[in-house]
Amino acid sequence: MQNQYQKANRTFFLLLVFVLVSLGAYSQQIDLKSDLLLIDSVVKQQMPVTGHRPYIYKNQPKTFRNTNPVSLIYGGSLYVYQNMFSQHLSASCLFNPTCSDFSKQAVENYGLIKGTLLSFDRLSRCNRIAATDLDPGTIDPHVHRFHDAIKKYK
């Protein structure tokens, strides 16, 4: 009985010492707001500013080429993709200009049919498997992407 009493007393004493030590210990104070602001500023410096991209037929005169329903649907879907989704998805794009900018330039320069075909060709090459065939000498040093201008496809 005495042995059990001493064991319970020792356990209580150790528990009391542990509680008192843990109450007296101080942990490092975390200033979470300043850490988050620092991370945000570093990320903003590393990310390119995309901004608001204009509609494909914004400054062109009204003709059948840019007012037919197919062109309006194509231009509208490209506008929505560039301003809503592209900012989140195109960070891993291999090419400069990005595929959506390439598509916009192709349609402006070559018309809807040839521009759409060039866009499909570009989208089929915009993956990591196709990157194995690209020449590393064509990497643009400013944006670290492969340069693939629309002028090559005349």
Residue type, position 95, single letter: F
Band of residue 31 on the pLDDT scale cut at 50, 70, 90: low
- For residue 26, the surrounding DSSP H or E stretch is none
Rg of the Cα atoms in the chain: 30
Q: Are 98 and 105 in contact (CB under 8 A)?
A: no
Q: What is the pLDDT of residues 114-140, one digit of tens each?
A: 999 999 998 888 877 777 777 777 787
Of 122, 76, 114, 63, residue with least CA distance to 95:
122
Q: What is the domain partition of the chain in residue ranges?
A: 69-154
Looking at residue 51, what is its pLDDT?
67
Q: Are 53 and 82 in contact (CB under 8 A)?
A: yes
Q: What is the pLDDT of residues 59-79, one digit of tens each?
A: 777 877 777 888 888 888 888
Looking at residue 98, what is its pLDDT?
84
**What is the pTM assigned to this prediction?**
0.60
What's the order of all strands across the beta sheet hosting 95-96? 95-96, 145-147, 139-140
